[in-house]
Chains A and B, each alone.
Chain A
């Protein structure tokens, strides 16, 4: 059974701090990794995708991938109250459906 595991949280950080979200996956042949953000009552929206080992930065967001450890993380710098949401980690092999974790709830307090 292919699985993606995340801590459900809630993860609480003060405004301006770094939020660190973590994810592990069981399928060693997974090739693509994604972080989606989902606000309450809304649909998931893509934040970051990463395909190669190492770091990928986009604005305040950095995704990190370690395929040897089957580990993906998302760092959010200078966290804002508007970042408060559930963050879903997902992985897949090329051309197949995404396998999602159950999500980590992030709360950023002002």
Chain B
């Protein structure tokens, strides 16, 4: 199994630009999570989907952030416009929908730097 795939792995952009992060979950997994990690705040949930439907987006910082999951094998996290304080590592994770199976598997992350 290829694991969770994220792209790009690194992104450097200028303030005000649009940034799109991409994630392909493990095949057969029906829950997908977007997290952001910074030194100050640690690993924080932004949003998660079950069966492509957003369930909890309370962690999305503000309207500049949006996430979509058009099908079971693809999700995007978009920041528009980007700001320097958005600089962080963004992780995507997925898990199965099997009862009692709560383990989440993380992708390699996207390291975002907004100048």
Contacts and interface: CB of A to CB of B under 8 A. Distances in A.
Interface in B33-63: 33, 35, 41-45, 48, 50, 56
A100 B43 contact: yes
Contacts of B107: 43
Contacts of A42: 108
Interface residues of A, number: 22
B109 A43 contact: yes
Interface of chain B: mostly helix, strand, loop or mixed: strand
Interface stretch (A56-64, A65-73, A74-82, A90-98): A90-98
A44 B43 CA distance: 10
Assign chain B's interface to a size class. 20 to 34
A46 interface: yes
B17 interface: no
Contact of A88 (B43, B48, B108, B109): B43
Given A45-B106, A94-B100, A95-B50, 5 more contacts: A36-B106, A46-B105, A97-B45, A98-B45, A101-B42
Interface of B: 33, 35, 41-45, 48, 50, 56, 91, 99-100, 102-109
7 cross-chain pairs, A with B, having the tightest CB-CB distances, nearest first: A102-B42, A43-B106, A100-B43, A32-B102, A97-B45, A97-B48, A44-B106
